[in-house]
Structure formats: C-alpha cells, structure tokens
Amino acid sequence: MNTRDRLIVALDVDSPEKAIHLTKLLSPYVGAFKVGMELFNSVGPEIIYTLKKLGANIFVDLKLHDIPNTVARASRVLTSHGADILNVHAAGGKEMMQSAAQAVNKEVLDKGLTRPLVVAVTVLTSISARAFKEEIGFAGEIEDKVVNWAKLAQAAGLDGVVASPQEIRAIRQACGPEFVIITPGIRPSGGAVHDQKRVTTPGEAIAAGATYIVVGRPITENSDPVQAARNIVSEMN
C-alpha cells in the first residue's frame, strides 16, 4: 500500500462546500476522507455520493451503537450509500457486531457492491486513564479493554478496530498482521494536542503497526492544507 493511501483526512466541517473544497484540494495527497457526525448530520447521506463522485474513498464515522437489528439495518444503508469504511462501537457486544458484518455482506451480495471495511470503535482517544476509571467506571487498564474489544470484534467477523496509538502494538500482537487498525489521535511533531489525550506522531503510529491514521485539524485548519498533508506523509515514511 502506498504511504499516502494510509492517510485519512477527517472532514470535521459543517457544510458541503467546505467538504468539497477540501476533498478536491487534498485528493492527490491522501488516501481517504472521514465523514463524521457533524458533517453527516449537517448535510445528510448525499455528501457521501457527492464526494464519491469526486473519486474519494469515504470512511463514514457514525459509531453505530444500538440493538443488533437497528445496527444491522443502518450498516446496510451505509453500505448502499457507498461507504468504503464504516464503524460500529465495540461496546455494543459481539451479537451487535456480528449483525453488522452479516448485514453488510448480504447487502454487498444482493446489490453487487464493493464490500466496505467494517471496524469497531474501542476507547476514544479523548478518554484519559482517570476518566476511564472514575467517570466511565471501568476497572483495569485501557489497553486491556481495547485488546479485549479488538479480539471480540475479530471473533464477530469485523475487519478491524479504531484505537488510539498507545494500543497499536498490543492489538497487532493479539489479532495478527492482517487485522485493520485505524488510528486517530495523530498529531504531527510539535503540533497542538487539542482535546486528544492519548496521541502520537504519524511516524510512530506507522512504526507501531497502524494500517491507517486519521488526521483532522492539523491538516484542515492549517493555512496550507496541502503542505500539511505532504508533511504528514513524509513523517509516515
């Protein structure tokens, strides 16, 4: 895989105009674009079709988390919209994740579509060790929970997980070389951390075993987004 194909840019914007502008500007330099809750809820699923027409690969980041039937139906819809990657939340349990994977496979078979990657979100990169224990109420260490959820996602038939850079090596060891690890919480050397707690640099994430990294504000809010993206690819190398 080409290094630039491993960089996903988060389109954390609230208008189609901004999303289209960034996609056109950055497409030659990155592998895919993430459509998250802000953009999807502002514009609706039409934004997926619009960006796909520009030749972009799209990661639809809605973190589906509901009863198995509801998540299965939503997963089928997102597959039909053309998502290249979609995610559910591992906290929904094995049955929910299995339902999502099976629904995606059936939609692909029924309509002759290209199968998206289906991945599970583990512990958000904004969650600190203190919040993990004192606010959310989990016992033990974050890494242990993330690895357990990753193994559960793999057993449920999912392709991989979304996890912070700090858990990459442990997931890779537990789930093997083919398991997809998508890593947010990436900040270029010397960059601002913002609201992230468990972060690392692009080069460190790739060296640890990340399949893809997700970068938002350090690129999209930079005065020169193209150069910012090129710098991150260089750091990945």
Q: How many CB atoms lie within 10 A of CB 19?
A: 24
Is the pLDDT score of 195 beyond 50?
Answer: no
Per-residue pLDDT tens digits for 158-187: 999 999 999 999 999 999 999 999 999 898
User: Cα–Cα distance between 33 and 11 in angstroms, integer?
Assistant: 7
Question: Is 224 one of the annotated active-site residues of the chain?
Answer: no
Tell me how many domains the chain contains.
Answer: 1
pLDDT for position 190: 56
Question: Is 66 one of the annotated active-site residues of the chain?
Answer: yes
Per-residue pLDDT tens digits for 132-156: 999 999 999 999 999 999 999 999 9
Q: What is each CA distance from 104 to 40, 47, 120, 145, 226, in whole angstroms?
A: 20, 20, 14, 26, 34
Residue whose C-alpha is closest to residue 10's, from 61, 45, 53, 46: 61
Active-site residue, from 18, 52, 66, 94:
66
Per-residue pLDDT tens digits for 7-20: 999 999 999 999 99
Is the pLDDT score of 196 beyond 90?
Answer: no
Sign of CA dihedral 37, 38, 42, 47: negative
Domain span holding position 219: 3-236
Q: List alpha helices for the chain, DSSP H.
A: 16-26, 37-43, 46-53, 68-81, 94-111, 129-130, 142-155, 168-175, 202-208, 217-220, 225-236
Per-residue pLDDT tens digits for 212-225: 999 999 999 999 99
Q: Residue 173 sits in a domain of what CATH number?
A: 3.20.20.70
Question: Is 61 one of the annotated active-site residues of the chain?
Answer: yes
User: Cα–Cα distance between 141 and 198 in angstroms, integer?
Assistant: 13
Binding-site residue set for substrate: 12, 34, 61-70, 125, 187, 196, 216-217
Active-site residue, from 5, 14, 24, 63:
63
Per-residue pLDDT tens digits for 82-120: 999 999 999 999 999 999 999 999 999 999 999 999 999
Binding-site residue set: 12, 34, 61-70, 125, 187, 196, 216-217
Is the pLDDT score of 189 beyond 70?
Answer: no
Sign of CA dihedral 49, 65, 105, 69: negative
